[in-house]
Chain A
Amino acid sequence: MLLGPALALSAILFSLGVAGVLLRRNAIVLFMCIELMLNAVNLSFVALAQLHGASGYVMVFFVMTVAAAEAAVGLAIIIGIFRHKQSVDLRNINLLRG
């Protein structure tokens, strides 16, 4: 029963994902940090499934599905932006700023 250490690892990985989102300007690296945060949440689901039964595993399944859909659509958007701006740097993506 490694509940506490697993939840602590999940917290650390989530914070690292947040730090990456705040630290970087590359849109693809930002997406990777979001995947890291989703993975951290998955880890806490799996850790708590030791206590609360198989529903936690089902939630991990759904989170992975959403992550796959998000990655597909997000990367398609990034390819579209790159085609217009020749860059994935967030400094160049200021279309909505006016």
Chain B
Amino acid sequence: MTEVVFYIFAAAAVLSAMLCILQKNPMAAVLWLVSTMFSLAAIYVLLNAEFIAAIQVLVYAGAIMVLFLFVIMLLNLGNARSDFRGPSSVAATVVIAGLLAVELLALVYYSPRRLASEFSQWPSYSDPATLFVAGQITQQEAAAKGVVAAVAAPLFQVYLIPFEITSILLLAAIIGAVVLAKRDV
């Protein structure tokens, strides 16, 4: 059942992403990208990451995409002319992106099995889930203390200094955006 739902949302994500990059109108492209992000949020729920799914909807689909929509509306780009590159660039794009996809998919097929066989005594046919206990510990913590607590504990203990540096990054981004968008610098 879970797998069927996963494949439905995966197909929706890939379809929306393709429509996003093939849509002439930037406004429609943003809306298809929002659709991709909602599908990804559903997939995060299926992968036991409910907190990340909520953040995905709030931050990505809610905040960042609305920022894109605002800019497109502000600059009045809704009925722009076609901005696709010429046929030779399309051919190069298909070759490059296709090669990249084949490489990444080969890596995907290869790596979990290889990891599993390296960590176990048997050469193959072992389930990665039984070999990596950290994931199961996290899921037990999530069941015991709640989904948010399982993410918050490492965030505020192990990764505290990167978390604080993040606030400096955001401050720099705010100041940079204000300075860049000001009318006369």
Binding site for B on A (CB under 8 A): 1-20, 22-26, 28-29, 31-33, 35-36, 39, 42-43, 46-47, 49-55, 57-58, 60-62, 64-73, 75-80, 82-83, 88-89
Residues of chain B within 8 A (CB-CB) of A88 are 75, 77
Residues of chain B within 8 A (CB-CB) of A23 are 21, 84-85, 89-90, 93
Closest 6 A-B residue pairs measured CB to CB? A20-B21, A53-B134, A11-B104, A69-B173, A19-B97, A15-B101
Residues of chain A within 8 A (CB-CB) of B146 are none
Q: Which residues of chain B from 74 to 114 have a CB within 8 Å of any chain A CB?
A: 74-75, 77, 80, 83-85, 89-90, 92-94, 96-98, 100-101, 104-105, 107-109, 111-112
Closest to A91 in B: B83
Q: Which residues of chain B from 154 to 176 have a CB within 8 Å of any chain A CB?
A: 154-155, 158-159, 162, 166, 169-170, 172-174, 176
State whether A69 touches B169 (Cβ < 8 A): yes
State whether A15 touches B104 (Cβ < 8 A): yes
Q: Give how many A-B residue pairs fall within 8 Å (CB-CB).
A: 238
Name the contact of A82 in the complex, choosing from B29, B30, B75, B159 (C-beta under 8 A). B75
Name the contact of B67 in the complex, choosing from A42, A50, A71 (C-beta under 8 A). A71
Chain A interface SS verdict (over half):
helix
Residues of chain A within 8 A (CB-CB) of B20 are 20, 32-33, 36
Report if A13-B67 is in contact (Cβ < 8 Å); known contacts: A8-B105, A55-B154: no
Nearest Cβ distance between residue A92 and chain B, in whole angstroms?
11
State whether B180 touches A68 (Cβ < 8 A): no
Tell me, in angstroms, the Cα distance from A82 to B17 when the chains sit together: 26
Residues of chain A within 8 A (CB-CB) of B98 are 15
Q: Chain B: how many interface residues by the 8 Å CB criterion?
A: 89
Closest to A19 in B: B97
Nearest Cβ distance between residue A54 and chain B, in whole angstroms?
5
Nearest Cβ distance between residue B60 and chain A, in whole angstroms?
7
The reply to whether the CB of B1 lies closer than 8 angstroms to some CB of chain A is: no
Nearest Cβ distance between residue B1 and chain A, in whole angstroms?
12
The reply to whether the CB of B153 lies closer than 8 angstroms to some CB of chain A is: yes
Residues of chain A within 8 A (CB-CB) of B137 are 53
Tell me, in angstroms, the Cα distance from A79 to B46 when the chains sit together: 38
Tell me, in angstroms, the Cα distance from A8 to B72 when the chains sit together: 32
